[in-house]
Structure 1
Amino acid sequence: MLRKGIDKKFKFLPLPGTEKAETLNNPYCGMYRIYRFIADCDQLQPDGIPIEKVLPDTNQQLCLVEINLLPYNEEFLSEEALNIIKRIFEHFSKHKKQMIVRFVYDLEGKGVLNEPKDIAVILEHMHQLSPILISFTDFIYILQGLFIGSWGEMHSSRYLSERNMTRLAKQLYECSGEKTYIALRCPSFWRMIFQTYQPLDSDTAFSGIQKARFSLYNDGMMASEADFGTYGSIRALDSKAYGDKWVREDELEFQYKLNRYVPNGGEVINECPYNDVLPAIETLKKMRVSYLHSEYDEKVLDKWKRSLSVSEGTLWKKKSAYEFIEAHIGYRFRIEEVNVSLAGDKTGCLKTILKIRNVGFAPCYHRFEVKLIVRTASYTTVYEYPVDTDTSRWIPGEKVELTGILSTEEWNQNTYVLGLSVYDPRSEQAIKLANTFSAPDHRGIYSLGNLCFGKGNRS
């Protein structure tokens, strides 16, 4: 342990850790592609590639897996269909992807014509799928929609009444894994189903109750004043029904509060002033967007790729707006300060204070394991010190202070390396940080600096 007088000899030599201008490719956020399947066919559509031969994008953590149930819109799912769906989930799970899953009955814009004529069929399909959904809960991040409407987007459907959507939402909640989010197409649907004008608060967030697992998605993002029907013309203060669609300003404010605790994402469409770079970035921040379709709408995405980033400072100055947006969708953790000192209680312990900021557009919505690591240069000795913090509540823009007390009783070297590890047990991945600190091993330990003790001051 530390001897008396060590405070005069101890030094912490921090390593440089400036931010890097690149996408981190962390779980649960970023760009995604769509992979389409039909429940009675074991091939990717329309390519005809067998399920097990499909190659998910290696640069994307998220995959939107769309499964068309149209062949069964008047009957129960067959054992063959259930087996095909299970094989689809197995395949993307083997590739360590987080799936956004959308079940649909329509891909033609004919929701009323193609969806089941009896809601009981949809409810039974959810029940049949339940064992599969629950068994893949670690890989199914979000169930998008309630199976209904054109393209599964919850419009042009016979089941948009409060009674029907409440039944469908409750059934899907009960039939899916406890960790799986369910995304609704409009904020008004969220208010209607849960009979409240108030979004989630800190007490109900992450509690597991039904409304704490319901999030949003928007496939008409920044397309117009109303995002092509996502919003309406009623001011929130004038609303007389939970299902009213509010004006854009009020809906964005509602999402800003709700999506502090549940994810939001979708597609940008229809090149227009609403998705010009400056208003787009402000909207993505306001909506707390954590996932975006990487292939649609090309005109909007190309506009961002042709435009320079408008970020303040020099870090992103030469990067495109698209590169800036891609790197900030979801969460992005940046260490801003590291301080190490004697604890001051004569125990010889060291007190470590880290200041870290989420500079992304959204929270991570998950509780990651955070540990301070003290190791020798050769890794022959490694000490771990868990940090008591809840990463799901690291809100964008807010600085979080992490404190750790490092017991030195077993230390017998003059030099150690101080590191930080952020790890997600659900996806079994180390979380990448935005700093230039090196992550030298598979555990993703970021080296923050060296702990140095004067010779003769160890026992």
Structure 2
Amino acid sequence: MNHVQKIALRPLPGSKSTELLRNPDRGFRLEIALDVGRNYNSHVPEVSGTTAFLQKHYEDYKGDCPMLAQTYFYLSAYENKDLDDIAFDTMQIFLDELRQMGMRALLRFAYQMGYYGPECADRDQMLRHMEQLAPFIRKNKDVIHVYQAGFIGSWGEWHSSKYEFDRKEMLESILRMVPEELQVQVRLPEYKGLLGNDHPQYKRVGFHDDFIAIKPNSGDGGLIPGSAQYAQFCEESPFLLIDGELPWGEWSFGDGWYIDPYGTIMRLAEHHYTSLSLIHNNREEYYRQGDDDGKYSMEYWKEIGIDPSWLQLNRLPYADAWFLDEHGNEIRRTTFDYIRDHLGYYLQAGRLEIGMLREKQLASLTLELRNYGFAAPHGLESAAFVWIDQQGNEIQASSAGDPRHWHPHEPGDAKRSLLAHVVQASLPLPEHAGVYRLGLKIGNSAGHSVRIANDIPFVQGVNVLTEVEWQA
């Protein structure tokens, strides 16, 4: 090795952490419910048009930059018949708009709006719909973050169903419908347990908790600390995409209870959440009823502070610089900020070593990475070191490993000791002399790129680690 260069990469200050919010496959999400036969929003029927509510919703919440949208396609108009061109055209228009916006869907099909809704397909019609939908899902898999089981019961949550179903049969049919490269989420661990842990598709099945109330409540499905379901969630969540939502603010406000942000943070970290609804218990302009004009839980979270001492006491991840501005001064952070920035992954590079192996025409690269988020970046699929020439062209690339293995801590570690991931690669040297930028490119299957939490240039989807002058 002819020369070794060691570089300490500057962390991104917390005053700039919002620059990371466009990172894909993580963070707060929207919720859209579209009746595909009648072409209106199922939750807010007065908003008609295939993409009108998506555009309006994004505009209302764009300050927190949601890059995911839970997408309910209600098949209620087809409870007794096959899906037609109107249904498929409507769904395609919506997903094309989502794709154009650079977002991805948490996709769910359902029939019943509300408890024991009157419109629901029976077993044979439901299986026929799955058969029809399989090619559509495969065609659009690039815009799907995760698939949520759906179909059965109120809101597709597998409870309060008009009909009884063999749930194992239905889950296996859903798994066949969805391409194997996509994970499938179910509402409760007990539904996943129907497969048996030796089932070949068992490890594809994650969870969406649609009632994060922290205090035990009749709506939580028994998912409470000390239960077998809770233990299963803790054990399996490090390896899965996990989504959730608070109860509607209109429900909790009416009952006079407020959802504790600190307890929520503990739950999101313990269960490795990748995404969380930005809509539930937060403003809810379109969902408020009567004279309910109070503040909801998330609105209080935006006022309640958080500090390093509480995070340390509870063994929760954070980067020191997250509490600082660009001048090194301390800044106030809130519980809402912490949840928003740490859902999913928060990747930060530390030390970089570059060794030039002239005789082999290789650069030996070693990069130390830490993940301060709640979860490994399961929605991503590639990472590579690249050389970029002065014209901005990527001229060489070499794998930097599989980012889905970059856990914040060792799964099962009760102390949550932060892991330092050492990423190594051999990158062919440029053929010609000149000044080149060495970059790290991380992305998903849709071509969306990840910015790491370092105060370095991010150019055309590449994190520029340093510049190197190469004498051929």
TM interval, short-chain normalised: 0.7 to 0.9
Q: Is the 8 A contact 1:14 1:449 kept in 2?
A: no
AA in 1 matched with 2:267: T
Aligned residue number for residue 210 of structure 1: 201
Q: Secondary structure at the match of 1:101?
A: strand
| Aligned equivalent of 2:383, options 355, 366, 370 | 370
Shift of 1:221: 1.1
- The reply on whether 1:437 has 2:421 as its aligned counterpart is no
SS in 1 for 2:273: coil
> CA contact under 8 A between 2:214 and 2:264: conserved in structure 1?
no
Q: Which amino acid aligns with 1:283?
A: R
Once the 2 structures are TM-superposed, how far is the Cα of residue 411 of structure 1 from its aligned partner?
4.5
Compared CA separation, residues 231 and 410, structure 1 to 2 (3 A): same
> Which of 129, 137, 140 is matched with 2:141 structurally?
137
Pick one of 117, 120, 127 that aligns with 1:115.
120
Match of 2:316 in 1: none
> What is the alpha-carbon distance in structure 2 between the residues aligned to residue 423 and residue 381 of structure 1?
18
Structure 2, unaligned stretches of length 5 or more?
283-295, 310-319, 324-330, 410-418
Find out whether 1:16 has 2:43 as its counterpart.
no
Match of 1:280 among 261, 264, 286: 264
Which residue identity is paired with 1:179? E
SS in 2 for 1:448: strand
Deviation string, structure 1 residues 122-151 (Cα, Å, up to 9, x no partner): 212222222212211111222323311122
Correspondence for 1:235 = none
Q: Distance in 2 between matches of 1:141 and 1:35?
A: 15
Change (3 A) 1:434 1:78: same
8 A Cα contact 2:27 2:341, kept in partner: yes
Matched, 1:104 2:110: yes
Task: Name the larger-Rg structure.
Answer: 1
SS state of the match for residue 244, structure 2? strand
Task: Give the corresponding residue for 2:288.
Answer: none
Contact 2:209–2:243 (8 Å) recurs in 1: yes
Q: Distance in 1 between the 2:9 and 2:374 partners?
A: 27
Could you give the per-residue CA deviations for residues 87-108 of structure 1, whole angstroms, max 9, x where no partner exists?
A: 3333323333211122222222
Q: CA RMSD in A?
A: 3.0
Q: Structure 1 residue 291: deviation in Å? A: 0.9
Relative to 1, partners in 2 of residues 1:311 and 1:389: Cα closer, same or farther, differing over 3 Å?
same
Q: Which residue of 1 aligns with 2:441?
A: 421
Tell me the equivalent position of 2:422.
401
What is the DSSP-based 3-state SS (H/G/I as helix, E as strand, rest coil) of the residue aligned with 2:211? strand
Q: CA deviation at 1:273?
A: 8.9
Would the alpha carbon gap of residues 435 and 252 (structure 1) be closer, same or farther in structure 2, given more than 3 Å must change? farther
Which whole-Å CA distance do the structure 1 matches of 2:336 and 2:161 have between them? 35
Say if 2:106 and 2:147, in contact at 8 Å, map to a contact too. yes
> Could you tell me which residue of structure 2 aligns to residue 329 of structure 1?
343
8 Å contact from structure 2 (residues 225, 231) kept in 1 = no
Do the aligned residues in 2 keep the contact of 1:19 with 1:436 (CA within 8 Å)?
A: yes
Instruction: Report SS of the residue matched to 2:262.
Output: helix
**How far 1:160 moved relative to its partner?**
6.1
Distance 1:76 1:381, change over 3 A: closer
3-state SS, counterpart of residue 430 of structure 1: coil
Secondary structure class of the residue paired with 2:322 = coil
- Say whether the 8 Å CA contact 1:13–1:451 is kept in structure 2: no
Deviation at 1:50, TM superposition (A): 1.9
Q: Is the 8 A contact 2:457 2:463 kept in 1?
A: yes
Matched, 1:220 2:211: yes
Amino acid at match of 1:89: L
- Say which SS state the counterpart of residue 51 (structure 1) adopts: coil
Equivalent residue for 2:232, pick from 238, 244, 254 = 254
CA distance in 1, matches of 2:45, 2:226: 36
| One-letter amino acid matched to 2:189 | P
SS of the residue corresponding to residue 212 of structure 1 reads helix
Q: Secondary structure at the match of 1:228?
A: helix
User: Which digits, 9 at most, give the CA deviation of each residue in 1:340-385, with x for residues without a partner?
Assistant: 2345x95464322101011111112145332223345x33675423
Matched positions, count: 415
Partner of 1:243: none
Contact 1:420 1:448 in 2 (8 A): yes
- Partner of 1:331, secondary structure, is coil
1:44-68 CA distance string (max 9 Å, x none): 4424342255526252211112222
Q: Distance in 2 between matches of 1:380 and 1:145?
A: 43
Q: 1:183 to 1:382 in 2, by over 3 A?
A: closer
CA spacing shift, 1:448–1:273, aligned 2, 3 Å: farther
Q: Cα 1:394–1:13, aligned 2, differ >3 Å: closer, same or farther?
A: closer
> 1: CA distance between counterparts of 2:362 and 2:94?
51
Choose the corresponding residue for 2:398, options 358, 361, 386: 386
**Cα displacement (A) at 1:432:** 1.3
Partners of 1:72 and 1:408 in 2: how far apart?
Answer: 59
Structure 1 residues 65 and 367: alpha-carbon distance in aligned structure 2, compared to 1, 3 A threshold:
closer
Contact preservation (8 Å) 2:145, 2:379: no
The two structures have a TM-score, normalised by structure 1, of: 0.81
**Deviation sequence 1:289-326 (CA, Å, 0-9, x none):** 11111111232212311111234556335121101110
CA offset at residue 189 of structure 1? Answer: 1.0
Partners of 1:382 and 1:127 in 2: CA distance: 42
CA distance in 1 between partners of 2:113 and 2:430 (Å): 64
